[in-house]
Amino acid sequence: MVNTAVLVSGGGANLQAILDSYFFGQIPGCNLSAVISSVPDAYALTRAKNAGIRGFTVDASLFPNEASFNNAIFGKLKDLDTELVVLAGYRHELDRPTLRYFKNRIINIHPSLLPAFSEGSSYGLQVHQKVIEAGVKISGATAYFVTENDFGPIILQQAVAVDMDDTPQTLQRKVMEQAEWPILAQAVTLYCQGRLRVEGNRVRVLSE
Ligand code: GRF
């Protein structure tokens, strides 16, 4: 079983996608061991509690600086004997020691088809605003391994059509429902099944 910890900071919609798959038995090989929040009252913690998954808070606001906060997160992940880390609406950058220790074991999702629209926060409406301004017809989401250069090897991508009537809000919703949630859960599943092999900057998905 792959001990998996999910890092969150907010509403936990991405976490919910994992929880739903998990409880439908769609993530075989995964032991969802903990949800760790950087914000004490994040709704993601309520989602974890409702699902019977252990929730922990490492309150970023209580630390004098980002380095000591990151150190606490790293310590917590190790204490929990974590093998796989999933970032699900986590609003902090992990530090180098954490990224090195968990090399090719940290999965994140970005709400665009990388490397397009990689600039700025992956949280909120910013990316979708830029997509609409650029006039592209296709957007989507990318699940990838986080590396020291941030965007590491791409695990999965899912495209979503951008319609003329889309607003950043409607596009965000579509991207979440049709791309982010399914591929995040699928990427975790593939990892836990031992079906992801990183070859340089590419990820080979092995057949079952
Ligand atoms: C959304 O902005 C989504 O596009 C991004 O994270 C946000 C959802 O956060 N990836 P959460 O999972 O509800 O906390």
Please write the tens of the pLDDT for every residue from 55-92.
Answer: 999 999 999 999 999 999 999 999 999 999 999 999 99
Give the pLDDT confidence of 20-36 residue by residue, as tens digits.
999 999 999 999 999 99
Q: How many CB atoms lie within 10 A of CB 133?
A: 9
Give the mutation target among 123, 130, 170, 174 for probing the ligand 1 site: most ligand atoms within 8 A of CB. 123
Whose CA is closest to atom 3 on ligand 1? 123
Whose CA is closest to atom 11 on ligand 1? 12
CA–CA distance, 179 with 173 (Å, rounded to integer): 10
Q: Which residues line ligand 1 (CB under 6 A)?
A: 8, 10-15, 44, 88-89, 109, 111, 122-124, 172, 176, 180
Q: Do 159 and 139 form a contact (C-beta atoms < 8 A)?
A: yes
3-state secondary structure of 43: helix
At residue 120, the pLDDT reads 76
Give the pLDDT confidence of 131-142 residue by residue, as tens digits.
999 999 999 999
- What number is the average pLDDT over the span 8-15? 96
The residue whose two tokens read 């009252």 is: 41
Give the pLDDT confidence of 97-148 residue by residue, as tens digits.
999 999 999 999 999 999 999 987 888 899 999 999 999 999 999 999 999 9
Q: Do 83 and 2 form a contact (C-beta atoms < 8 A)?
A: yes
pTM across the whole model: 0.96
Looking at the predicted structure, is the pLDDT value of residue 43 above 90? yes
Cα 99 to ligand 1 centre (Å): 21
CA 34 to chain centre: 14
Looking at the predicted structure, is the pLDDT value of residue 194 above 80? yes
Cα 208 to ligand 1 centre (Å): 30
